[in-house]
Amino acid sequence: MSEQKQLTRIAVLTSGGDAPGMNAALRAVVLAAEHYELQVIGFKHGYQGLLENDFLPLCAADVQHILQYSGTIIKSARCARFKEVEAAQQAAAILDQHGIDGLVVIGGDGSFRGAEHLANYWSGQIIGVPGTIDNDLYGTDVTIGFTTAVAIAMDALDKIRDTADAMDRVFIVEVMGRHAGFIGLNSGVAAGAERMILPELQKDKPLTIAAIVKHIERVKQVRGDGSYVMVLSEHQWPGGAVALAEQLEAQHGLPCRPCLLGHIQRGGSPAPADRIIASELGVHAVELILQGQTRVMAGLQANQLVAIPLPETWQKKNPLNANLLRISQDIFNPVKKRQNTL
Ligand code: F6P
């Protein structure tokens, strides 16, 4: 039997935009570490805290009763400086001073790029846990935080529908997702939005204002007066929902209001699914360290635990659900031609 190194200490940090379920993942990491008799320290504010050696020891008592809260008790941050070679070398030296054998990074693609960069200068093991509302990491069916963000956006869309219906107005609800339309598509389908403007669709064929107006008017012809709710992924219209609403109202006489959901999508109580996958993936990350793995993300595919090389998580892309796109564009589109065969 090959001789295995006895591991003693791991570190954990949460990095980038916080996501509902990060606390649940942190709790799982700490509880798994205690179970396997590993000590844990947490670096505060992500890589920034690592560079500043801002840390705290973590034990089971510290993570009791946190999984029902969004945010992260060890704080998060974006750290542009971590891209530099000196920063990774400095972080490696700090991790070595603490005698850390493995580091768990809970975050999104930027955080995983940071983890891979650090791995070039540090000999310890690094495991990523996918924590981002954007759902834009390849290798896992869903990221921690996505389900909650969709539920929040859906709830907002439902509420907007009430007032939109009452006033016969067009509404544009801007959702997060940076470069990915997962929140837009899923919340739009869940709330029965008339149109979704998503990065993946805009790439192939950017929408024109004329096409948007035409669709709104045709829907009105088919249904009569009423509401029309559009989901707009952020950065997909110059000036965002506010500018698009102004253009529709001023240039085309369509009564239209914008609604920016913004960071509301990252707060509140994490959905059960986020708490559950966070719990599984947090434990999985620690077990991957014990198995000797490094430079991988702990993921879930069809209920199976997987380990995906970190660069694949941002180099490859999960497509939007093609069936959801099809049914929203064809079957649920009030102005699409009807057909009597499949
Ligand atoms: O990546 C997560 C995310 O919430 C994106 O959806 C959004 O574009 C971005 O973070 C916002 O970042 P910040 O919190 O730094 O404004």
Answer yes or no: is pLDDT of 1 > 50.
no
pLDDT higher for 59 or 7? 59
Answer yes or no: is pLDDT of 265 > 60.
yes
> Are residues 307 and 288 in contact, defined by beta-carbon separation less than 8 angstroms?
yes
Distances from the Cα of 220 to the Cαs of 12, 192, 333, in angstroms? 53, 16, 12
Give start-end residues of each CATH 3.40.50.450 domain in the chain.
Answer: 9-145+270-315
Instruction: Select the CATH number that applies to the domain covering 147-265 from these four: 3.40.50.460, 3.40.50.300, 3.40.50.620, 3.40.1280.10.
Output: 3.40.50.460
Q: What does the pLDDT read at residue 226?
A: 92
Nearest atom, ligand 1, residue 108 CA: 1
> Are residues 254 and 167 in contact, defined by beta-carbon separation less than 8 angstroms?
no
Q: What does the pLDDT read at residue 253?
A: 94
Q: What does the pLDDT read at residue 4?
A: 62
Answer yes or no: is pLDDT of 195 > 80.
yes
Per the document, the length of the chain is: 342
Q: What does the pLDDT read at residue 33?
A: 98
DSSP bridge partners of 232: 174, 197
158-178 mean pLDDT: 97
Answer yes or no: is pLDDT of 186 > 80.
yes
Confidence band of 342 (pLDDT split at 50, 70, 90): confident
287-317: per-residue pLDDT in tens?
999 999 999 999 999 999 999 999 999 999 9
| Residue written as token pair 């205690």 | 34
Q: What does the pLDDT read at residue 3?
A: 58
For residue 93, give the nearest of 122, 126, 115, 54 by alpha carbon: 122
80-106: per-residue pLDDT in tens?
999 999 999 999 999 999 999 999 999
Extract the tokens encoding 51.
């560079």
Distances from the Cα of 300 to the Cαs of 103, 149, 191, 304, 307, in angstroms? 20, 19, 27, 5, 8
Residue 212's Cβ-count burial label (10 Å; 0-12, 13-18, 19+) is buried
Taking each continuous run of H as one helix and of E as one strand, the counts in the chain are 13, 11
Confidence band of 6 (pLDDT split at 50, 70, 90): confident
User: Positive or negative CA dihedral for 216, 220, 222, 225?
Assistant: positive
Give start-end residues of each CATH 3.40.50.460 domain in the chain.
Answer: 147-265
Q: What does the pLDDT read at residue 71?
A: 98
- Based on the residue annotation, tell me whether 134 is a catalytic residue of this protein: yes
From 78, 111, 176, 233, give the residue whose CB has the most ligand 1 atoms within 8 Å, as the site to mutate: 176
> Which CATH class name applies to 9-145+270-315?
alpha beta
Residues in contact with ligand 1 (CB, 6 Å cut-off): 17, 78, 108, 132-134, 176-178, 234, 266
From 178, 183, 232, 233, give the residue whose CB has the most ligand 1 atoms within 8 Å, as the site to mutate: 178
> Are residues 229 and 193 in contact, defined by beta-carbon separation less than 8 angstroms?
yes
Q: What does the pLDDT read at residue 337?
A: 82
104-115 mean pLDDT: 98
> Are residues 207 and 225 in contact, defined by beta-carbon separation less than 8 angstroms?
no
